[in-house]
Amino acid sequence: MSQIVHTEGESNTSIARKAWMKESIGPKSSPLLKRDANVFLHQSLSSPCVSTIAKAEGIWVEDLDGRRYMDFHGNSVHHIGYGHPRLIAAIKAQLDDLPFSPRRFTNDPAVELAEKLAEITPGDLGKMLFTTGGSDANEVALKIARAATGRFKTISFWDAFHGAGFGAASVGGEATFRSHIAGPLLPGAEHVAPFACYRCPYNHVGPETCGLACAKMVEFVLEREGDVAAVIAEPMRAVPYVPPPDFWKSVRDACNRHGALLIMDEIPTGLGKTGKMFAFEHDEIIPDIVTLGKALGGGILPIAACIARTGLDVCGDFAIGHYTHEKNPVTARAALTTIQIIEDEGLVDRAAKLGEHAINRLRDELQNIPIVGDIRGRGLMFGVEIVDDRADKTPGNARAERIYYACLEAGLSFKISQGCVLTLSPPLTISREDLDCAIDIVVNAIRDEN
């Protein structure tokens, strides 16, 4: 685990990055960073890395030179913090009991995990398949939708992220994962504008009216295409963007009218991050398929799940997964224990309360800062949009980057989304004192930049 920060829209040769690398990388970290750059393929948002990790515990990561950071990014895997002792003990015990299972054989941890997921998901979401990553879970969901409907087209949103595989990148809308792939992506992947009332130039009519207009665009495409298998989307965009009131109810109704399935990608938002077990529960709808990943493995092991309503168990005569670790007892045990920890420690409710506290603090202390365009989020997934001009909402990318590195220097790691949104996503186990300390760092860095 060699990367502790992740900045979307950041240039690897930016002045702020160069200054950070020169002034803040210690003598033990520098050699490893060079070795890393020599052997890993370089790609945007990942390699070359900007620092090292030697230790990860709770909300903290520490580099080889002993610098410690509160991790408010964690690639959305660290809902229960890093190295939860109960999870480590469960994994060790499972390794001694049963370390692997070929997918043609079943085992108790895998079945118990499936039963637990069926128990905690609302409605009739009770049939599933496990994969090693969220991208694969979304691929499985798309295959189920095609098999169930006899159609192949999808509707998704520009700027959305659903994974890096060809199918997942096709329905995703982030240019970083699409723009440099030679040749066509998956056919039939239609896109519409995302709900983004905070940035939309037409939201003078009010976010509720404007948001429902965005939802009507989904129905417009459903009606005109006529043969759409599924709408796939993030219930709350992790950038973060909260959907307008009744947006998803409108889309759910449109899917029902036009025979399309609704797939909710809960890979970053699920398992309590937004203050409910699933983010779509805020909007009082139930999808046909939901995908989970990232935090499902407790920040230690990779596992994801595609969960469909029972009536969509229609693929028995052919293969839609065949993943080697489809019923791995160790990853299943990790996921089952993670869910049990979230329930036993009341982390969903904790995320709701701490998130409300954090957002209220940020709004109170930054309301008169001209470079703050918006503060938004749900639960412990929230963000501060940095602008150059609040009146016309000009994105303040350079300002956001400088704020980011100032926070990193002060011991707080997070990511920047869309070039200018300070995106803060701490573990659900964080103490209120540590959360307040992190907010102090962000507020001070913004004020210094202002």
Q: What is the pLDDT of residues 165-187, one digit of tens each?
A: 888 989 988 877 776 776 788 89
- Work out the percent of the chain whose per-residue pLDDT is above 70: 93
Q: What is the pLDDT of residues 346-391, one digit of tens each?
A: 999 999 999 999 999 999 999 999 999 999 999 999 999 999 988 8
Instruction: Report pLDDT for 182.
Output: 66
Kindly give, in sequence order, each residue whose CB lies less than 8 Å from that of residue 311, ignoring residues fewer than 6 positions away. Answer: 124
SS3 category, 169: helix
Q: What is the pLDDT of residues 179-238, one digit of tens each?
A: 677 678 889 999 998 886 555 655 545 555 666 788 899 999 999 999 999 999 999 988
Instruction: Report pLDDT for 200.
Output: 61
Mean pLDDT value of segment 38-48: 86
Instruction: Report pLDDT for 201.
Output: 56
Query: What sign has the CA pseudo-torsion 114, 115, 120, 126?
Result: positive
- Work out the percent of the chain whose per-residue pLDDT is above 90: 76
Token pair listed for 266: 């809960």
Q: What value does the mean pLDDT of the chain take?
A: 91
Report the C-alpha dihedral over residues 8, 13, 18, 24, rounded to 10 degrees.
Answer: 40
Matching residue, tokens 């008169």? 368
Instruction: Report pLDDT for 18.
Output: 80
Query: What sign has the CA pseudo-torsion 259, 287, 166, 175?
Result: positive
Instruction: Report pLDDT for 195.
Output: 82
Residue 130 has pLDDT above 70, yes or no: yes
**Whole-angstrom distance, CA of residue 406 vs CA of residue 448:** 9
Residue 160 has pLDDT above 80, yes or no: yes
Query: What sign has the CA pseudo-torsion 2, 404, 201, 235?
Result: positive
Could you tell me how far CA 408 lies from the centroid of its own chain? 21
Domain architecture of the chain: domains with CATH: 6-80+347-449 (3.90.1150.10), 85-344 (3.40.640.10)
State the burial class of residue 259 (Cβ atoms within 10 Å of its Cβ: 0-12, 13-18, 19+). Answer: middle
CB-based contact 297:132 (threshold 8 Å) = no
Could you tell me how far CA 271 lies from the centroid of its own chain? 11
Length of the chain: 450
Query: Nearest-5° angle of CA 291, CA 296, CA 299?
Result: 140
State the burial class of residue 128 (Cβ atoms within 10 Å of its Cβ: 0-12, 13-18, 19+). Answer: buried
Beta bridge partners of 374: 385
pLDDT band at 3 (very low <50, low <70, confident <90, very high): very low
Question: pTM to 2 decimals?
Answer: 0.94
Residue 150 DSSP symbol? S
**Whole-angstrom distance, CA of residue 392 vs CA of residue 200:** 11
Instruction: Report pLDDT for 11.
Output: 46
Lowest mean pLDDT among 32-46, 130-144, 145-159, 366-380: 32-46
